[in-house]
Chains A and B, each alone.
Chain A
Amino acid sequence: MADLGYIALALAFIITLYGLAVSLLGGYRGDEVLITSARNALYVVAGLVAISTIALWYLFITNDFSIEFVASHSERSLPTFYRFSAMWGGQDGSLLFWLFILAIYSTVFMVVEWRRQVRRRPYMIATLLAVHLFFLAVVLFAANPFERLWVLADGSTQAALFRPEGASLFIPADGMGLSPLLQNYWMVIHPVFLYLGYVGLTLPMAYAVSGLVSGELDNRWSKDVRVWNLIPWMFLTIGIIMGSQWAYIELGWGGFWAWDPVENASFIPWLTATAFLHSIMLQHQRGMLKVWNVSLAFISFWLVVIGTFITRSGIIDSVHAFALSNVGPMFLSFIILSFALFMYLLWQRLPQLQSDSELDSMLSRESAFLYVNVLFIVAAFVTLFGTVFPIISEALTSTKIAVSAPYFNKVDGPIFLGILVLMGIGPLLGWRRSSSDMLRKSLLPPLAMALLVVAILIMLVTRHWLPLLGWGLSALVLGTILWEFFRGAQARRRSTGEAWPLALLRVMARNQRRYGGYLVHLGVVMITVAIVGATSFQSNLKTSIRLNETVELAGYSFTYTGLEQEKFSNHDAAIANVLVKKGDTVIGTLRPRMNFYTAVSGRDMGPTTEVGLRTNLHEDVYVVFNGWEQDGNLGAFEIFINPLMLWMWIGGLVMVGGTLFAVWPMPRAATRRVRATAVAQPAS
């Protein structure tokens, strides 16, 4: 099976080279036979990558420990479920998995776009194959998951594809096991979504680059690329939110986002992709920002590669960083080459990328989009800058510094507040120009709502400026969204006489993109409310509790009622029972646990904690069990009360729902599109 996987990869590499050459030649000559052949080459490569991925899964399922990657990331007692996810538990497998997702995306993409994009398609194929080529090269030459373990003549072991001289195959009796932190269902599923998001950002890039090469630079792509950006963007959103859910329940420090390099690597492209999906609307509506949109599509992809490079190359101290290998230099070469190539193409096409129209007024939706774009980009680069700053600082001062939450909260926080302000005002502005009088009129209800909320908060909840500002702006955005829904439904009611609910549904269905966008904004508001609540009003207590004794925190009482032990296939669990009461009402028994993974191979894995959690719309009761003494008569706990946390996950769902609503194909929208192309010509 390992041979099959390896040979499939090698074949895929060769066919990729062929396809790349043929697609470029075909595009240059306009030879349809060559272009079709290149497309077929892409499909074959995708098939081969799939075979090789399945081969690696097979090796995991069958416990083939002669394979180094399997031996170091799995073990006999590992539940089958986790044997699938063990593939992305290490660098080599995760790169192959990346390639697998790229192959799936590319196939779907070309099937859909083949007929639609006649001019672009040879270069779309070429771009996709170039990305394949790079990842195939990395997997084949620097991080091959199919390497076998060999015992050399001198008794040492080595991982290699082919038998080194005088060596014999080494099959360990058992594997080293999967990192316990990764043995959690969120960890199984969230990387999949992250990869779906990450890798999917290749598609807008392929759109942009193929446009630059083919010279098809009109505004049509702004409509066609939309779904290829929104879907990966949605997956990336899901991945980031699931990742923070994992951090929340598995790492046991009461937080959900640590701003560590791995998290930042997923957040930075999310920011630029978000900027892109706003700025592309300007090109769509007004034919503006052409250079900027093409660049953003590329930059998002580029930042994905950079993010992978940062976390995989070991240039930054990170728990996730890997030992030095050729992966870092290969990624860096790709980063430099792709950037140079893109800049060259952009420079060549610059004369053809001129705006169709200009801004009519400083007070217009266009200018709001422009400002919000700037803020997203600044946030992305500031986050990237902070992530790599330790390298710069240590090089110049030779003193270790840390750049984590205090820094990012201070520099990104104000930017996000600025984005919230624009989320509140932007939707109220019309395209082209708004009179300040009209803005004042439409801003009045949301602003009144925001001020009312702030007044209520001051009277009942807090006088701290930070939550007041955060929640106040959230209320402003919420007010704007509600006001927009109300005005839309009201206007429709007035002209059709439909009842309120029907009018609202109809007006939403007739303009999915607009109202889908507002739903996404609504999700963002919920998440903001949760973040502000959980960070400003968290209470925590680190304490040891004697058996059957009680501690109190924020109106709750916690009684330690006992310790249980449980055995699982590859770990033992110690489970503390903590009875939680609010006043005299029993809330329930929480069962925070510590898992002790049996280190078969002598690798010390350390215990992991899993929190006991009771969640409701108001606040989370979150108990971490940190150990015990005296046969369980004394338990060490850390207790958190995290207000409003549930809204974070609800907000995530709403964001996803809104995105799906915006892209969901509706029969009526299709006929509309035909008319749209005729109307969309700019007035000037």
Chain B
Amino acid sequence: MTLKRIFLALFLLLLVAIPAAAQGGDPAAELQKELWCPICQGIRLDVCEQQVCEQMRELIDQELAAGKTKEEIKQQFIEFYGPVVLGEPPREGINWLAWIVPILLAVGGLALAGWMTHSWSRRSQLQPAPDTTLDSATEPDPYLSQVEREIEDL
């Protein structure tokens, strides 16, 4: 099937293309986008107008000039300003909860739904299935009849 081949080719292209996405740029600008204003509500450092942020941006430039790496500066900021600057709970201690609970919720919820659909559909396999092919055979177009059937249901 040619269509399948086209899909396959496109898919392979994606696989090749995505890792090729290059990164790199101004570390100061990147850091400013990764750190958050410690006294505002959800304002990133690079767009923050507070005095504190002004000082923090200056500090980033100084430390970079002094030869520190991005990671070192980030650690230094967390130690000095507190984990607030991350804009997210740090992944340590009790704050792991913030990361685990959503995953548990999502996995648990989806697993529950999966289990339910599975057990329901298995149970209904034992009962005679409603014959949906019959009425569509009498209608001129299966899709239209499906739509019309749904209209009737309203």
Interface residues of A (CB under 8 A from B): 223, 252-255, 258-261, 284-285, 317-319, 358-362, 366-367, 370-371, 373-375, 377-378, 381-382, 385-386, 389, 392-393, 396-397, 399-407, 410-411, 414-415, 430-433, 444, 447-448, 451-452, 454-455, 458, 462-465, 468, 487-488, 490-492, 494-495, 507, 510-511, 513-514, 540, 542, 626, 638, 669, 672-673, 675-676, 679-680, 683-684
Q: Does B52 contact A (CB under 8 A)?
A: no
Q: Does B112 contact A (CB under 8 A)?
A: yes
- Assembled-state Cα–Cα distance A458/B144 (Å): 37
Kindly list chain B residues whose C-beta atoms are within 8 Å of the C-beta of A403: 87-89, 98
Kindly list chain B residues whose C-beta atoms are within 8 Å of the C-beta of A378: 102, 105-106, 109
Kindly list chain A residues whose C-beta atoms are within 8 Å of the C-beta of B124: 358-361
* Given A374-B112, A511-B147, A672-B154; A401-B18 close (CB under 8 Å): no
Q: A399-B82, A455-B10 are in contact. List 11 more A-B contacts (CB 8 A).
A: A253-B44, A358-B124, A360-B130, A373-B113, A385-B105, A401-B90, A430-B146, A463-B21, A676-B153, A679-B152, A683-B130
Q: How far is the CB of B45 from chain A (nearest CB, A)?
A: 11
* Contact pattern, B 3-47, Cβ under 8 Å of A = 1, otherwise 0: 100010011011001101110000000000000101001111011
Kindly list chain A residues whose C-beta atoms are within 8 Å of the C-beta of B87: 402-407
Q: Determine the residue in chain B with the shortest Cβ distance to A253.
A: B47
Kindly list chain A residues whose C-beta atoms are within 8 Å of the C-beta of B11: 451
Kindly list chain A residues whose C-beta atoms are within 8 Å of the C-beta of B84: 400-402
- Assembled-state Cα–Cα distance A393/B86 (Å): 15
Kindly list chain B residues whose C-beta atoms are within 8 Å of the C-beta of A396: 94
Q: Does B59 contact A (CB under 8 A)?
A: no
- Assembled-state Cα–Cα distance A164/B110 (Å): 60
* Given A371-B110, A433-B132; A458-B17 close (CB under 8 Å): yes
Most A CB atoms within 10 A — which of B17, B93, B112? B17
Q: Would B120 and A385 count as touching, CB distance under 8 A?
A: no
Q: Determine the residue in chain B with the shortest Cβ distance to A464.
A: B21
Q: Would A402 and B88 count as touching, CB distance under 8 A?
A: yes
Q: Does B80 contact A (CB under 8 A)?
A: no
Interface of A is mostly: helix
B: contact size bracket: 35 or more
Q: How far is the CB of A6 from chain B (nearest CB, A)?
A: 35
Which A-B residue pairs are the 6 nearest by beta carbons?
Answer: A491-B144, A404-B42, A359-B120, A407-B88, A258-B42, A463-B21
* Given A385-B101, A458-B14, A672-B154; A319-B129 close (CB under 8 Å): no
Mind listing 11 A-B residue pairs with CB under 8 Å? Answer: A361-B121, A382-B105, A385-B101, A389-B97, A401-B95, A403-B89, A430-B146, A455-B10, A491-B141, A507-B147, A542-B46
Interface residues of B (CB under 8 A from A): 3, 7, 10-11, 13-14, 17-18, 20-22, 36, 38, 41-44, 46-49, 82-90, 93-95, 97-99, 101-102, 105-106, 109-110, 112-113, 116-118, 120-121, 123-124, 127, 129-130, 132, 140-141, 143-144, 146-147, 150-154
Kindly list chain B residues whose C-beta atoms are within 8 Å of the C-beta of A318: 41
Q: Would A397 and B10 count as touching, CB distance under 8 A?
A: no
Q: How far is the CB of A489 from chain B (nearest CB, A)?
A: 10
Q: How far is the CB of A13 from chain B (nearest CB, A)?
A: 36
* Given A371-B110, A488-B147; A392-B97 close (CB under 8 Å): yes
Most A CB atoms within 10 A — which of B87, B99, B112? B87
Q: How far is the CB of B86 from chain A (nearest CB, A)?
A: 7
Q: Determine the residue in chain B with the shortest Cβ distance to A468.
A: B18
Q: Would A400 and B82 count as touching, CB distance under 8 A?
A: yes
- Assembled-state Cα–Cα distance A381/B109 (Å): 11
Q: How far is the CB of B33 from chain A (nearest CB, A)?
A: 9
Q: Would A432 and B130 count as touching, CB distance under 8 A?
A: yes
Kindly list chain B residues whose C-beta atoms are within 8 Å of the C-beta of A514: 147, 150-151
Q: Would B147 and A491 count as touching, CB distance under 8 A?
A: yes
Q: Would B86 and A406 count as touching, CB distance under 8 A?
A: yes
Q: How far is the CB of B13 from chain A (nearest CB, A)?
A: 6
- Assembled-state Cα–Cα distance A358/B116 (Å): 10
Kindly list chain B residues whose C-beta atoms are within 8 Å of the C-beta of A462: 21
Q: How far is the CB of B50 from chain A (nearest CB, A)?
A: 11
- Assembled-state Cα–Cα distance A389/B95 (Å): 9
- Assembled-state Cα–Cα distance A396/B47 (Å): 32
Residue from B38, B83, B129, B146 within 8 A of A360 (CB atoms): B129
- Assembled-state Cα–Cα distance A219/B23 (Å): 55
Residue from B97, B102, B118, B140 within 8 A of A362 (CB atoms): B118
